[in-house]
Amino acid sequence: MLTLRSRIFILISIVVLIILAIVIFLLVMAKKPSLIFGTKTPTTTENYNTADGNTPVGIGTPAAVTDFSQIKVKVQGTEDAEKNAARQTARIFIERYNSFSNESSWQNVRDVENLATTDLWKVISKPMEKNSGLSTNSLVVVTGVASLNLTEWSASAAKVAVMANRTETRSGVETKLVKNYNVVLVKTGDNWLVDDFKEVK
């Protein structure tokens, strides 16, 4: 004969096992909704059309792609890469050259030395040699290119129209401007260099 303690232990164990079995059953069935609810899980695009004849978004699974000859990937050619390099050189030049403060000791000019031809470097570095042209008033200029348009192109030369947003802060007063530039580039060796640039008024 079992003691009362043993009977209670057996009863509690049976209840725990039943609860555990129910939980496991529900977990297994939750992964297979068609077994619980008798519903059909769509595996292909079927006739799930609405009244207007359109298939609702998210209904059905598109057919797998088996004909990979239909997929076209545009590979950037040499000319596309060269045009992009010319545009990016113009962008970097305009942003760096036109971002400065009167306390930066011509760092903006030094930053573009490797992006400029020898002739252009002689022109833009002259004020730096004379240490002239900087205002004594507080001045901070930040320039960001908004758009680039390649207007002329050959394998050895290019011209890029640049639109830039310029923010000038003078003695705490901020002014926002839009500036347009024409940037002339030449191919020197493997690199595009800026040979000339002019602000378009």
40-61 tens-digit pLDDT: 444 444 444 454 555 454 445 4
Q: List the CATH code of the domain at 78-200.
A: 3.10.450.230
Q: Residue 45: its pLDDT value, please?
A: 45
- Report the distance separating Cα 86 and Cα 157, nearest Å: 9
Grouping H, G, I as helix, E, B as strand and the rest as coil, residue 69 is helix
- Report the distance separating Cα 196 and Cα 201, nearest Å: 16
Dihedral sign computed on CA atoms, order 169, 171, 172, 174: negative
Tens-digit pLDDT profile for residues 127-151: 887 765 555 678 899 999 999 999 9
Q: What element of type H or E holds 23?
A: helix 4-30
* DSSP summary character for residue 16: H
- Report the distance separating Cα 55 and Cα 45, nearest Å: 9
Grouping H, G, I as helix, E, B as strand and the rest as coil, residue 65 is coil
The alpha carbon of 75 is separated from its chain's Cα centroid by a whole number of angstroms, namely 19
Instruction: Report if pTM > 0.75.
Output: no
Q: In sequence order, which ranges of 31-117 are alpha helices (DSSP H)?
A: 33-37, 78-97, 107-111
Structure tokens at 98: 């036109």
The ranges assigned to domains in the chain are: 78-200
121, 136 contact by CB (below 8 A): no
